[in-house]
Amino acid sequence: MLSHVLLLCSAPSGGAGTSAESPSTSSAPHTDGDFGGAMDQDLDWKPGPELVRRPPLSGSKKADRSRTPCKVCGVWYRILGSLIKHAWSHADEQPGVCGVCGENRETPEELKDHLKTHQTTHDCSHCGKSFLTLAGLNNHTSLHTGNRPFRCSDCSKSFVNLSSLSIHRWIHVVDKPYKCDVCPKSFGLKAQLTAHKKAHAGKDQYHCNICNKQVYDRRSLTRHKMTHSGERRFSCQVCGKRFKLPGTLKAHEKTHTVRDRPFLCHMCCKTFLSSCSLVAHMKTHSGERPFVCAVCSRGFLTNEALKKHLRVHTGEAPYDCKHCGRFFKLKSTLNSHIRSHLGIKRFTCGVCGKACSRQEHLTVHMRTHNGERPYKCSQCDKAFTQSHCLKSHMRSHHGGEDAQ
């Protein structure tokens, strides 16, 4: 009898399977998609009551029927409103397929107009960009108006609302309360730690079939595969430069805006746009090199720098020139090489006016003016401006020894 009473007390008030979720349930941050909502920008968005459905018991046939997949990438959502919000992440992709209903549209603009029929949007009166929430629109509008009344007392960075400022302030806290038990990272908010842990939990679940890189969710895999494509769909409206990923475009667009650099290095007075850039810079003063090569024990400031260095040992050269077929270990080296095909010579000698396509070539050329000969023969007093000249000279010594 007691167990029966307990069961009755714990049952939902609205009847099984008929009532909408309670306000306390719907207000929590949803992790509805297979890779969660941590990466979405409009974190405050919540579906209306008419879009919320009570999640069925796991394992039941009803649970399978209630999960609706995105028609573009296949990610499953239990709440229709969450699927609609996710579908906007595919709005600029080609071909233009609606993630909600699967209908095709010829252009991104047509697809965005179609998506608005699934969900009410708020349009910016300055540039016409659409947002799913009024809060998202207000945050964007502040970029046009400059109205960001909440200012950080540590770095003077300003925000549209107090909640954003509160989250930002954790950047300045050294000892953050929520620590990852796998890696050294720590976070000010529990939700940030929860989202971060997914990177460890699912790291080996999704593999790129091109380069075998491992990522922790399907969205990251889709985004990563775009880097292998030669297509650059995202264009800067200021300078016309094109990018493969929307995130890379956003980072580039900041170079065109006048922004404060609020993060100051107190050792050399250099300033930075973000705290992570400052943290990385501070390692140059401390001598800290936390990322160590397992082959030669050389240390690096970042994991990305270590990955680039490892190509020296593996021989991997993933960047190929479309003009001549040569392969390069670094993207920057490939870009410099391509300029030689295009006849672009950005580096000019201040003495004679000779132009070079690469800085290294100009450095070697300048030795003809300043007399510098850094490559010295260990067996005679001759010296050379380039290493290959020294190597050719050394053969003359070895040849003489063979003749004797």
For the chain, the farthest-separated pair of C-alpha atoms sits apart, in whole angstroms, at 109
CATH of the domain at 201: 3.30.160.60
Range of the domain at 39: 32-120
Per-residue pLDDT of 240-253, as tens digits, reads 788 878 778 877 77
**15 CB-side CA count, 13 A:** 2
Residue 227 in domain: yes
Q: Which residue has the higher pLDDT, 285 or 377?
A: 377
* Token output for 327: 């392969």
Among 256, 284, 308, residue at a domain's last position: 256
pLDDT exceeds 50 at position 203 = yes
pLDDT exceeds 70 at position 8 = no
Residues 104 and 157 in one domain: no
Q: DSSP secondary-structure letter at 242? A: E
How far is it, in rounded angstroms, from Cα 181 to Cα 115?
41
Q: Which residue has the higher pLDDT, 282 or 260?
A: 282
Q: For 27-31, 181-185, 353-357, which range has the lowest pLDDT when averaged over its residues?
A: 27-31
Q: Three-state SS for 43?
A: coil
Output the pLDDT for position 149: 86
Among 236, 256, 276, residue at a domain's last position: 256
Neighbour tally for 34: CB within 10 Å:
17
Number of domains in the chain: 2
Residue 317 in domain: no
Residue 365 in domain: no
Residues 165 and 246 in one domain: yes
What percent of the chain shows pLDDT beyond 70?
Answer: 78
* Token output for 278: 């400052």
For residues 104-109, average pLDDT: 84
Q: For 26-30, 137-141, 245-249, 262-266, which range has the lowest pLDDT when averaged over its residues?
A: 26-30
pLDDT exceeds 60 at position 255 = yes
Q: Which residue has the higher pLDDT, 115 or 22?
A: 115
Q: For 3-17, 85-99, 158-172, 263-277, which range has the lowest pLDDT when averaged over its residues?
A: 3-17
pTM: 0.36
Output the pLDDT for position 259: 59
Residues 89 and 176 in one domain: no
Residue 326 in domain: no
- Average pLDDT over all residues of the chain: 75
Residue 202 in domain: yes
Output the pLDDT for position 396: 85
**359 CB-side CA count, 13 A:** 3
Neighbour tally for 73: CB within 10 Å:
20
Neighbour tally for 356: CB within 10 Å:
18
Residues 93 and 156 in one domain: no
Residue 92 in domain: yes
Residue 251 in domain: yes
Residues 59 and 116 in one domain: yes
How far is it, in rounded angstroms, from Cα 391 to Cα 112?
62
Residues 154 and 247 in one domain: yes
pLDDT exceeds 60 at position 308 = yes
For residues 109-135, average pLDDT: 80
Residues 250 and 174 in one domain: yes
Among 226, 256, 286, residue at a domain's last position: 256
Residues 159 and 96 in one domain: no
In whole angstroms, how far apart are CA 42 and each of 67, 88, 135, 354?
A: 22, 12, 8, 53
Residues 192 and 105 in one domain: no
Residue 287 in domain: no
Output the pLDDT for position 257: 67
